[in-house]
Amino acid sequence: MTTVSNGVNVQALLDAREALKGAPEAAQFTWRASSRWQTGVHSTISVQNYFGLGQEQSHKEESVFEADHPETFAADDNGITPIEYLLVGLASCLSAGVASVAQNRGIKLNSVESTVEGHHDVRGILGADSDVRNGFNDIKVTFTIDADASKEEIEALVAQSQKRSAVFDALTNPTDVTVEVA
């Protein structure tokens, strides 16, 4: 196979897969975010530490995100809305998957762009109609990929990326969520 580089350290991922097959406890990760309410519907969320490979881990530096609602919701728009963060997560997860799978298959990527649209009937969150759900009705992701590969190979990259995506799974399958007051 010709060696191409999309900048993904696939060998490290393959090594990790082999190593973790026999060590399921080391594969247990906990991702964390901490939120502080500011005022109105504005909160500031920071992310730095997580747990994995059997011990506490840390990103190189803390990332801080502002979440608010836009003026159409009579808010100050200090940041994107929480549900938009789901789109951020989905787009970045699928793109990472496309790059990793492409590298593993020896496919050179020239550009990968995607747009993610979540269709949302806000009557649900407003309590205007009890038959309308709060979350997205559906989500559409459209990829535009320039790569040294056939159309079918590119479609297979996108399909495999969904098959191995944490965020795609989290959005398409139910997850048990506990919310409590400390």
Q: Which residues bind another protein (CB under 8 A)?
A: 138, 152, 155-156, 158-160, 162-163, 168-169, 171-174
Question: Residue 74 CB, nearest distance to another protein (Å)?
Answer: 31
Judged by beta carbon, residue 44 or residue 89, the one nearer another protein is 89
Sort strands 138-147 and 109-119 into parallel, antiparallel or unpaired: antiparallel
CA distances from 143 to 10, 27, 128, 156 (A): 22, 30, 34, 12
Token reading at 2: 């010709």
Question: Residue 104 CB, nearest distance to another protein (Å)?
Answer: 11
Separation between Cα atoms, residue 58 and residue 7, nearest integer Å: 22
Question: Residue 173 CB, nearest distance to another protein (Å)?
Answer: 4
Judged by beta carbon, residue 93 or residue 158, the one nearer another protein is 158
Separation between Cα atoms, residue 88 and residue 92, nearest integer Å: 6
DSSP for residue 167: H
Judged by beta carbon, residue 20 or residue 156, the one nearer another protein is 156
Separation between Cα atoms, residue 81 and residue 139, nearest integer Å: 16
Question: Residue 154 CB, nearest distance to another protein (Å)?
Answer: 10
Judged by beta carbon, residue 127 or residue 174, the one nearer another protein is 174
